[in-house]
Structure 1
């Protein structure tokens, strides 16, 4: 999802999202005016505004107050056609001590059409002189193509930008929702709102909620990250949580906020949220997040780290952003040197009959010293009987090669997992459309695998984790560790197996893997390993 990114201009900021993302913009407001954008021709615009003006004029006093049109005139903005409507005068008063103070308000609308686009600025409970402010704002409106990034400073809305300098104002609002067609349970929301309106920061609010939560509720919440986080000079706070819901679904809630400064539209309150496990049905129960935790974290880090203030000049496109610091896959590091990337490193020593202590592939943390490998030759029969293991320390420094980047180490299962069934030729007609199988598809134990790929076990406590299965094989049962008894041993078998569901996480071609006779792939394609 994050291999191909696109840049979106939202308010006064830029943010990168996956190119396949579906974007919706809402809540656009500037200087107290709600903004609406329409794509229509001039004739449709005139017909719509004429009908709206007639409806407002015919309303009279039906809407409360004096109602009706106060003023209606053509828009006074060069190179734009449109109308300004002032209507719905309402009178009242408030008491300030013993003094009665009269109050009066109207609704103000400014409608403009230019280059096949229509824009409407609307404010209720306003004053007549605000019509001039609306026209001044429209005079600074520059139309842009969908996806274009403006090179002039200002406030971005869909298909346009209000270019600086703008009339004096204190507030700007805009929100963006990001969805993914293959993962309807995952959503990202970015908000830019007036700053300084919140008395408590993100970390303080969550600490207060944690203090008031039940112990049972806190046991279901795991904090993956929590603390201060500055993104491109924007000082903020971040909290990343994994939640085990009451219906046993695993969901994620990630939030980052920066407070902003009151009455300064160039330094607003910013909020970025990512939620995984949202129900596709309104009011429905949470569902298991369709992305693996590593993928959710990677998606969050790629999007959140791209938030930046849009400065004058053409920004580089999302796909030309410099790579994150750290070596590429395949990089070589010698023992004794500092590890530059947390991940799985493969020792280039050893070979047939010679193992490496700790494994030929080891997870090493960034900042640690790369180890000197200790080689373990194959034991002779006499050495096996005596329980001896010979070892050899290479004379030259060991070389390690980066083979996989991970956010954290994974612990391999120490027991044999149930293998998938033999690849079946029955039902090939139903499996011909394997490539159309959507990510997130769930299949039960015993059913034929509809598409080659990586499948995640639906049981959180199972040892299987995510495994690769070929198309046409019967999906296996899940494997569980039996809790130990009082004396550290289980009364029965150490593991049990029972039926489960499997969820498709990633496609892979079955033809690229040679299957042994038992139908279990000995060399699965590159991807998540078969680990718990």
Structure 2
């Protein structure tokens, strides 16, 4: 009897370990199938379960708006802006100066200026229409007259370099990816750029994934230095369910990671905050600050709900993404 009971116990334990192993393998496999995305000059692979919910970009301080419009609407939009600037009566507002590429049906640049508070400033509006109907529009103001010629030359260069890019295209030439578009540029000239992608996880609406490359600024402190200075880990104390932190090099990029599991607001479950970040260099397009943040249980409005992902699933999701962050080879 004892021998038979022992055999049964052994079978149960063996089956339990097999179940745990199979469950973990299944959790790992959840995110094995991926899709590659280009953001700025970098690439990242996202699990097929991750759905793109938003993008942001800034190139040479330009906020590039991507719109689909007919050639007639494209021309009408330009003429309306010219009319507004030409008919401006306020002495301190921007007034029309000139339109560059006036004979070009696919690109135009409107220059305006104003004189206020003893200073002259310039405004620049650019319009680029591509063959598939997408148009890229930028509008910026307050350029000083000291560097205006260099700035205008830079805008003209941008108009000649920007083109349409379908979401699934990974360009082979060096340059900057943004929503529906691409700017061919080797990145060797110092300039400011930023690109971001925002994802939600299919069937898990409170799982948010954000990744960004940024050359605008550099944090005064690294990720871990900021966390320690805030004292947040000590404040949470015994409520902390899991915490792992340290330096981590990803594909030649020196960064730091902080992986934390916290109680949900109602304390019926846990929520995760997983972050990996590099410091980068200000103005260096080839070495931006990169930040990956994955949150589970994020419902908006500052409320944290219990995660619908287990610890193993959340970790599998993080690992599936973070290990793929890399500079696009042509850059």
Q: Same fold (TM over 0.5)?
A: yes
Decide whether the 8 Å contact of 1:112 with 1:120 is kept in 2.
yes
Distance in 1 of aligned mates of 2:239 and 2:89: 58
TM-score, length basis structure 1: 0.52
Distance 1:183 1:226 in 2: 26
**Is the contact between residue 20 and residue 180 of structure 1 (CA under 8 Å) also seen in structure 2?**
yes
User: Distance in 2 between the 1:49 and 1:114 partners?
Assistant: 15
Q: 1:25 to 1:124 in 2, by over 3 A?
A: farther
- Which of 108, 112, 128 is the aligned partner of 1:83? 108
* Contact map agreement 1:193 1:270 (CA 8 A) in 2: yes
Alpha carbons of 1:166 and 1:122: their partners in 2 closer, same or farther (altered >3 Å)?
A: farther
- 2:200 matches 1:200: no
Cross-structure match for 1:375: none
With 147-156 and 1-10 compared, the bigger mean Cα shift is at: 1-10
SS at match of 1:145: coil
1:141 is aligned to 2:162: yes
**Tell me, what secondary structure is at the counterpart of 1:110?**
strand
Q: Deviations over 1:205-248 (max 9, x none)?
A: 1111227853xx22222343200000000010000000113421
1:117 and 2:137 equivalent? no
Alignment partner, residue 65 of structure 2: 36
Q: Distance in 2 between matches of 1:41 and 1:181?
A: 34
Are residue 3 (structure 1) and residue 35 (structure 2) matched?
Answer: no
SS at match of 1:33: coil
Choose from 270, 280, 300 the match for 1:260: 280
Contact 2:94–2:122 (Cα < 8 Å) also in 1 = no
Q: 1:146 to 1:211 in 2, by over 3 A?
A: closer
Instruction: Output one character per residue of 1:350-393: Cα deviation in whole Å (capped at 9) or x when no partner.
Output: xxxxxxxxxxxxxxxxxxxxxxxxxxxxxxxxxxxxxxxxxxxx
SS at match of 1:296: helix
In structure 2, C-alpha distance between the alignment counterparts of 1:70 and 1:167, rounded to whole Å:
34
CA distances 1:1-31 after superposition (whole Å, capped 9, x unpaired): 4132100011000000122422144331111
Q: Which residue of 1 aligns with 2:260?
A: 241
Matched residue, 1:73: 99
C-alpha spacing 1:29/1:196, structure 2 compared with 1 (3 Å):
closer
Shift of 1:46: 1.4
Matched, 1:276 2:296: yes
Map 1:55-454 to 2 at 5 A.
55-61=84-90, 66-75=92-101, 81-87=106-112, 89-92=114-117, 103-115=119-131, 116-127=133-144, 128-129=148-149, 130-165=151-186, 168-194=189-215, 197-210=218-231, 214=235, 217-248=236-267, 249-279=269-299, 282-283=300-301, 285-312=303-330
User: Who is 1:515 aligned against?
Assistant: none
| Number of matched pairs | 296
Q: Which structure is richer in relative contact order (CA contacts within 8 A, separation 6 or more)?
A: 2
Q: Comparing both structures, which one devotes a greater share of its residues to helix?
A: 2
1:46 aligned to 2:62?
no
Tell me by how many angstroms 1:168 deviates. 4.1
**Contact 1:146/1:159 (<8 A) preserved:** yes
Query: Secondary structure at the residue paired with 2:204?
Result: coil
| Structure 1 pair 122–251 and aligned structure 2 pair: CA distance change class (3 A) | same
**Aligned in 2, Cα 1:91/1:285: closer, same or farther, shift over 3 Å?**
same
- Please state how far the C-alpha of 1:47 moved relative to its aligned partner: 2.0
Say if 1:38 and 1:119, in contact at 8 Å, map to a contact too: yes
Q: How far apart in 2 are the matches of 1:229 and 1:221?
A: 22
Unaligned runs of 5+ in 1: 93-101, 314-532
Give the C-alpha shift of residue 55 in structure 1: 3.2
Q: Please report how far the alpha carbon of residue 154 of structure 1 lies from its aligned counterpart in structure 2 after TM superposition.
A: 1.0
Per the TM alignment, residue 194 of structure 1 is displaced from its structure 2 partner at its CA by 1.3
Contact conserved, 1:236 with 1:259, CA < 8 A, in 2?
yes
Cα distance per residue 1:502-531 (max 9 Å; x no partner): xxxxxxxxxxxxxxxxxxxxxxxxxxxxxx
Paired residue for 2:25?
Answer: none
Runs (4+) of structure 1 exceeding 6 A deviation are none
Q: CA deviation at 1:138?
A: 1.6
By how many angstroms is 1:85 displaced?
1.9
Aligned to 2:5: none
SS in 2 for 1:285: coil
CA distance in 2, matches of 1:77, 1:264: 35
CA–CA distance in 2 between the matches of 1:222 and 1:54?
61
Distance 1:25 1:148 in 2: 17
SS at match of 1:37: strand
Question: What is the CA distance between 1:66 and its match in structure 2?
Answer: 2.2
SS at structure 1 position matched to 2:182: strand
TM-score, structure 2 as length reference = 0.81
Instruction: For 1:193 and 1:186, locate their aligned partners in 2 and report how far apart those are by CA, in whole Å.
Output: 23
Q: Relative to structure 1, is the Cα distance of residues 243 and 39 closer, same or farther in structure 2, using a 3 angstrom cutoff?
A: same
CA distance in 2, matches of 1:151, 1:132: 26
